[in-house]
């Protein structure tokens, strides 16, 4: 008595699955040789992709090392700049020193020009006496 209900259940399941599954296509299925050549092509592509993946991973590692090195160099330069800035006097003092140095240079130039004129005058006076 259980068997007929079991068979009916299986028949209903078969009908439901048959509606879901499409009938096989009328197109010709590929030959074994075609399948094997496609498998070989896909294996080659996979190997090539793996090589490229490894190359990219190595490149990423190199870039990360470069970034770390450059970051370290930048930190060292920032520290050096901060150290050197600490040695410099404040900008107002530098401006005052520059102004003072310019004034001294202008005075030295005036003094030099006066000495040149004085020497030229002296040589002119010496030329008539000699």
- SS3 string, 45-76, reads HHHHHHHHHHHHHHHHHHHHHHHHHHHHHHHH
> What's the pLDDT at 22?
63
Q: What is the pLDDT of residue 106?
A: 96
Residues in Cβ contact with 97 at an 8 Å cutoff, skipping those fewer than 6 apart: 89
CA–CA gap between residue 10 and residue 120 (Å, rounded) = 131
48 or 26: whose pLDDT is higher? Answer: 48
Listed in sequence order, the residues at least 6 apart from 89 whose beta carbon sits closer than 8 Å to its beta carbon are: 97
Please tell me which residue, 25 or 122, carries the higher pLDDT value: 122
- Please give the average per-residue pLDDT across 36-65, as a whole number: 96
Residue 1 has pLDDT above 60, yes or no: no
Comparing 20 with 97, the larger pLDDT belongs to 97
55 has pLDDT over 90 = yes
pLDDT digits (tens, 9 = 90+) for 60-119: 999 999 999 999 999 999 999 999 999 988 889 989 999 999 999 999 999 999 999 999
> What is the pLDDT at residue 16?
83
Say what the pTM is: 0.44
At 28 the pLDDT is 74
Looking at residue 51, what is its pLDDT? 96
State the pLDDT at residue 125.
Answer: 83
Using CA atoms in the order 36, 42, 47, 51, what is the torsion angle rounded to 10 degrees? 160
């Amino acid at each position: 008595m259980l068997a007929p209900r079991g068979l009916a259940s299986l028949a209903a399941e078969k009908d439901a699955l048959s509606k879901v599954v499409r009938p096989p296509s009328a197109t010709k299925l590929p030959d074994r040789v075609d399948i094997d050549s496609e498998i070989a092509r896909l294996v080659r592509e996979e190997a090539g992709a793996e090589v490229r993946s490894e190359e990219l991973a190595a490149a990423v590692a190199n870039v990360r090392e470069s970034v770390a090195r450059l970051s370290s160099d930048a930190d060292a330069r920032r520290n050096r700049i901060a150290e050197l800035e600490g040695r410099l006097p404040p900008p107002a003092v530098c401006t005052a020193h520059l102004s003072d140095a310019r004034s001294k240079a202008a005075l030295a130039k005036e003094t030099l020009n006066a000495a040149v004129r004085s020497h030229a005058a002296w040589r002119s006076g010496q030329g008539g006496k000699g």
